[in-house]
Amino acid sequence: MTEIGCLRGHPIPVHRLLALAGKPVPIYVDPMALWQVAQAYEIIKNSIAAGQAIYGVSRGVGALKSSCFSIEQQETMTRGMLAAHMAAFGAAYPVATVRLAMILKLNTLLTGRSGASPALADYLSKLLSTGITPEVQQEGSIGCGDILPNGQLGGALAGQGYGWQEGERWPMQTLLANSGLVPHVWQGKDVIAMISHNTVTVAHALVSARAARQMLDRLLLAISLAAISLKASPQPWQGAAQLGRNGTAKVGAWLADHAVQLTWPLEPTVHDPLALRFIPQIFGPIYDRLAALCDEIEALSAEPDENPLVLNGSICTSGGSHLLSLALHLETVRSALAHAIRNGFNHAVQLTNGRRAGLPANLVVPGATMTGFGPFLKLCGATVSEAMANCDPVAMMPLVLADGLEDEALHHSLSLRRLDRQIELGERMAAALAILGAQAADLNGHSLPEAQGALKNAVREHLSFAPNDQPITGVVEAVISSLKQHESQWSRFGTTLPLRTLA
C-alpha cells in the first residue's frame, strides 16, 4: 500500500491532493477508516428500520422535506432524487478537477460521519484506481451543496452519462464494463451523501489556487524584467528581505538575488517610484493569501459537509455545507490578484512614459519614425480596468430559496468563475508587460540576469525587436501559450518564491 494513495479521512496536504488528481494511481482505503464508515452506516440503517425521519432518506428534500416515505417507497424516492438532480449545464470540468472532487468526497466519507454505505466508499476508490473520471458539467451550483454537478457525478456511478479514461471519452456504462465494474447499487443514505456536499467547489478552488500561483510567478518575472529595464534600486528589496514577513521576505530576497546579477551601474535614485519599491510588499501578501486559501482547503479535505451527519452515535441535521470561510478566502484572493495586475500596469506606464533610465517615450527607437507602444498600452489599461471591476464581492449577493426561509446561499461557482477570469487577466498582463520589457531591455542594450533574459528571449520567438511599428495582434496570446507550455522552465527560476509545493 503506497502512502500517497492511502486515504484515512484525515486532512490531506494540498500538494498531495494535486498529485492524486494528476496521473491516476491506485487508491486505498484505510481499514480502520472503513470500519468507521460501517459503524455510521449501521446507525443510519437501524434508524430507518425504527421509522426515524431522516432528511433525504425517509423524508423528501427541499420544499418537500416534510414528506414521509415508507421503507418500500424509499428506494424509488432516492433514485428519483438522484435523477432530478442530474441537471448540470455548460462546459465540463477538467478531468483533474473531477478526480480531485472524488478524492475529497471519498476522504470525507472516511471520517465516519456520513452514514453512507461502506460499498459507496469502496466503489469510489475502485473508480479512482481504474482512472475512470465521470464527465461533470460546471453550471448548476449556487453553493451550500454543488447539487446539480453532484447529481451528474452520482449518476455516473450508476452508469449514466459519459466519462474519461486515458484521454478518451466513452459512455460510463462502457467504461465500467471494460474495467470489470457494475453500476453502484444505492443503499440507505448513499444518494443524499453524493448530492449534498461541496467537494466540486473545493476541488475547483484548489485547481484555481495552483493556476493563480503559476500566474503570479510569471507576472512577477515580467515585472522584474520591467523593473530592471527601468534601473530600479535594489535597496528597498534588500530591506524587504531582511524586515519583511512570510511572503514579503521571500519576494524581496528573490528580487535582490536577481539584482545582484546586474552588470551595469544602477540608477542613483534615493526614492524610486512606488511601483518599483513596493513589489515585495505587494506580491508577498498575495502569495500569503493564496497560502491561507490552501490551508482552508486542506482543512476542508477532512471536513464532511453533508446534511444530515452521524455525530456521537446519533443522526444530526448539519449546517456544515455553508462554506462562508472558503467564500471569503476566494474573494480575498480575487481582490489580491487585482493588486498584482495593477502593479504590472504601473510598470507598463513607467516603461512607456519616457521618464526613466533613458528610455524614450512609447519605447520608440531613437531616430526612427514610429508611433511605438503607446497604443499597445491601451490593452494593459483595459486589462487592469476589468481586474479592478472584478473585485465586487459575490458572497453578499442575496438569493432567496425555499419559500423565503433560506436566504444564506453562497455563489461559490460564480466566485470561482470570476477568480479564474482574474487569473486570465493576470496572464495577459504578464505577457503584455514582457513584450514591453523586452523592447526596453533591447533599447538599453545591457545584459540581463538569466531568468529575465530567458523571458525576453521567449518574447523574441514571437515578436522581434521593433525598430519600426509592427502589428502585435496575436502576439500576446502566443506569449501566454509559450509561457504556459514551458511551465517547468519558468518554475525553476522561482524556486525560492512562496508556495513551491503547489506544483
119-174 tens-digit pLDDT: 999 999 999 999 999 999 998 877 677 889 999 999 999 999 999 999 999 999 99
242-291 tens-digit pLDDT: 999 999 999 999 999 998 888 766 665 667 888 899 999 999 999 999 99
- 142 burial class (0-12, 13-18, 19+ CB within 10 angstroms)? middle
Residue type, 389: A
Q: Which residues pair with 29 in a beta bridge?
A: 7
What is the helix, strand, coil percentage profile of the chain, to 5? 60, 5, 35
All cell numbers assigned to 342: 495593477
Instruction: For helices 199-229 and 412-444, give the axis angle rounded to 10 degrees.
Output: 20
Averaged pLDDT for residues 457-475: 93
Residues 206 and 197: their CA atoms lie apart, in Å, by 16
Please report, for residues 341, 431, 459, the alpha-carbon distance to residue 442 in angstroms, rounded to integers and kept in the order given: 24, 17, 12
Q: Would you state the pLDDT for residue 220?
A: 97
pLDDT at residue 2 tops 70: no
Residues 13 and 5: their CA atoms lie apart, in Å, by 13
Please report, for residues 7, 181, 204, 387, 476, the alpha-carbon distance to residue 129 in angstroms, rounded to integers and kept in the order given: 12, 12, 21, 40, 40
Residues 6+ apart with CB under 8 A from 34: 110, 118, 121, 122
Q: What is the longest distance spanned by two Cα atoms in the chain?
A: 91
Tell me which residue has cell 514582457.
Answer: 434
Tell me which residue has cell 488528481.
Answer: 21
Instruction: Count how many residues are written for the chain.
Output: 503
Q: What percent of the chain has pLDDT over 70?
A: 95
pLDDT band at residue 402 using 50, 70 and 90 as cut-offs:
low
440-453 tens-digit pLDDT: 999 998 889 999 99
Please report, for residues 153, 209, 235, 299, 334, the alpha-carbon distance to residue 309 in angstroms, rounded to integers and kept in the order given: 20, 29, 56, 18, 32
Say if residues 165 and 175 touch (Cβ distance below 8 Å).
yes
Q: What is the CATH number of domain 3-197?
A: 1.10.275.10
Please state whether 165 falls in left (phi above 0), alpha (psi between -120 and 50) or beta.
beta
Q: How many CB atoms lie within 10 A of CB 473?
A: 7
168-186 tens-digit pLDDT: 999 999 999 999 999 999 9
The secondary element (H helix, E strand) that includes residue 195 is helix 190-195
Record the pTM.
Answer: 0.95
Residues 134 and 60: their CA atoms lie apart, in Å, by 27
Residues 192 and 58: their CA atoms lie apart, in Å, by 11
The secondary element (H helix, E strand) that includes residue 427 is helix 412-444
All cell numbers assigned to 375: 497604443
SS3 38: helix
Q: Would you state the pLDDT for residue 155?
A: 94
pLDDT at residue 73 tops 50: yes
Say if residues 90 and 139 touch (Cβ distance below 8 Å).
yes
pLDDT band at residue 68 using 50, 70 and 90 as cut-offs:
confident
Q: What is the dihedral of CA 486, 488, 494, 497, to 10 degrees?
A: 120
Residues 496 and 494: their CA atoms lie apart, in Å, by 5
Residue type, 231: K
Q: Would you state the pLDDT for residue 137?
A: 94
Integer-rounded Cα radius of gyration of the chain: 26
pLDDT at residue 1 tops 60: no
Averaged pLDDT for residues 279-308: 96
pLDDT band at residue 321 using 50, 70 and 90 as cut-offs:
confident
Instruction: For helices 118-130 and 31-49, give the axis angle rounded to 10 degrees.
Output: 140
- CA 170 distance to own-chain centroid: 27
Averaged pLDDT for residues 292-320: 92
The secondary element (H helix, E strand) that includes residue 391 is none
- CA 19 distance to own-chain centroid: 14
Report the CATH fold assignment for 205-305+334-492: Fumarase C; Chain A, domain 2 (1.20.200)
Residues 328 and 371: their CA atoms lie apart, in Å, by 45
Please report, for residues 56, 58, 69, 425, the alpha-carbon distance to residue 76 in angstroms, rounded to integers and kept in the order given: 12, 11, 10, 48
Say if residues 72 and 51 touch (Cβ distance below 8 Å).
no
Residues 192 and 306: their CA atoms lie apart, in Å, by 8
- CA 216 distance to own-chain centroid: 13
Domains of the chain: which residue ranges?
Answer: 3-197, 205-305+334-492
